[in-house]
Structure 1
């Protein structure tokens, strides 16, 4: 089954393959607003609140591919992987396949293409602690 999913990208590995479980893949975490999730992807999503408070309004889906992923802008012009950043609003074309391995079954989302719709939301922030110069241990 091929499906178009609307959401936000987080932790994209699109410029080079990422090694996990002895496989090298391109991958991305897809954040789907809870009110936009459909029942046919329930087996593929996690409740973001269980991962981190900052994801409480989202379901999380991981998708990957051993092949280079097609990347497009809003007008369907091809773009580079460096044009897509965490937090960007995107449409994701995924192929959902069932798997069976060692008497276990499940579903996996294979990422085929991404269409960047807009530069995105701020997903996470880093809190910086300010110190006076005399408080720094290396000064």
Structure 2
């Protein structure tokens, strides 16, 4: 009998932005901008850097896993028993950037966290769009 890893779920949000990848990268990696659209933080764009995202409901403990400027950013996301990874992928398009956010690691019994992410990330994308427009 094989001991397969417990099945996990993933939340994916994708959106086209009429802004170049460099501009999205700036909004994804600058602490004062992250605070505008996501949460208060002490982010530093450097592999292995540990940082916290702070919201009214609590704190998310994170650690930078991957950085490829203007292309990929990934960090661990641990909060309220959830041990997940958030990966941002930026792909240039003819009119701007295709942004893909994937959060992996929701256990089958973490329905509340999973639903919260499914509901929350599109709203964070809306905030990101507003931040990008303001940067014009």
Same fold (TM over 0.5): no
Q: Which has the higher helix share?
A: 2
TM-score, normalising length from structure 2?
Answer: 0.28
Q: Which has the higher strand share?
A: 1
